[in-house]
Chains A and B, each alone.
Chain A
Amino acid sequence: MKTPISYFVVLSGMLFAIGTVGVLVRKNALVIFMSVELQLNAVNLALVAFSRLHGNLNGQVLAFFSMVVAAAEVVVGLAIIVNVYRRMHTANVDEASLLRW
């Protein structure tokens, strides 16, 4: 493989930054959630790249675990969003302000 590992790390950093901007800018709870998924995937890419750099499989195992956690997180998060939608009839995070003073 001729591609330097740092290229993958920089790409992963860019995707993570895009995901961060998505979380901060968007108002739709579902799109915010998708941006979080993008961030998780960016970190996975960095883990896999580091696994290649160090010549062992620990990074891949960690990426595998983070996929499992992401799957669990998506299930619970989407259930919460559906619940919020049932109560407030909106998926806009600005309108879910019951706990705000």
Chain B
Amino acid sequence: MAPDEIVFWVFAPISVGSAVAMLFQRNAIHAALFLIVNFFTLAVFYLVLGEPFLFAVQIIVYAGAIMVLFLFVIMLLGVDREESLVERLRGQRPLAIVLGLGMAAEIFVTARASLGLARGPADFDQTVNVGGNAQALSRVLFRDYFLPFEVTSILLIVAAIAAMVLAQRRERTPAEAAHEAEAA
């Protein structure tokens, strides 16, 4: 077995297992921790596929920034609440699981039929990652995808402003205060 195959077969079960474990955790904090495990295994797959830059970005942005944000919000909203198991729509849960399994089977059949055992070019690091992955990626990003790259900066600014506006604490109007008193 080649080294990358060993890495794949070690980390693929961890990846799927942590995703399934996330699904069955009733405590949101535990779900978030399993999701972090999953993000780390995905970072390992990026490394196996020859993308050290995305490996670093995955760990810094996803496992670092995004999950810290999640944990922060979970702490803010209170961790001790457990989810109710009451179904509003009868039969939704079994149906969702059956459809999910069907979707996985469908993707399996499609990938098998269309890709088979194709491996891609063997000399990926020499022909595509010329001068290193980050350098090659930045060459593509800043030449072919320069406009989309600039547009994402606008997107990030808009998202930051939107978050500030949404999180702002407004003065309560009398009607809202009455509604809250009624709810409490």
Contact = CB atoms under 8 A, between A and B. Distances in A.
B22 A38 contact: yes
A55 B128 contact: yes
Contact of B31 (A12, A31, A75): A31
B152 to A, nearest CB: 5
Given A1-B2, A4-B119, A67-B57, A13 B50 contact: no
A53 B22 CA distance: 30
Contacts of A64: 54, 57, 137, 141
Nearest to A83: B166
B77 A18 contact: no
Interface residues of B, number: 89
Contacts of A74: 66, 69-70
Interface size class, chain A: 35 or more
A24 B140 contact: no
A11 to B, nearest CB: 5
B173 interface: no
A92 to B, nearest CB: 7
A5 B163 contact: no
B62 A41 contact: yes
B122 A57 contact: no
A92 B83 contact: yes
B51 A60 contact: yes
Interface in B57-77: 57-58, 61-62, 65-66, 69-70, 73-74, 76-77
8 contacts: A1-B4, A3-B4, A19-B19, A21-B96, A37-B35, A61-B137, A71-B65, A75-B163
Interface of B: 1-2, 4-5, 8, 12, 15-16, 19-20, 22-23, 25, 28, 31-32, 35, 38-39, 42, 45-46, 48-51, 53-54, 57-58, 61-62, 65-66, 69-70, 73-74, 76-77, 81, 83-84, 86, 88, 92-93, 96-97, 99-101, 103-104, 106-108, 111-112, 115-122, 124, 127-128, 136-137, 140-141, 144-145, 148-149, 152, 155-156, 158-160, 162-163, 166-167, 183
Interface of A: 1-22, 24-28, 30-31, 33-35, 37-38, 41, 44-45, 48-49, 51-58, 60-61, 63-65, 67-76, 78-83, 85, 89, 91-92, 94
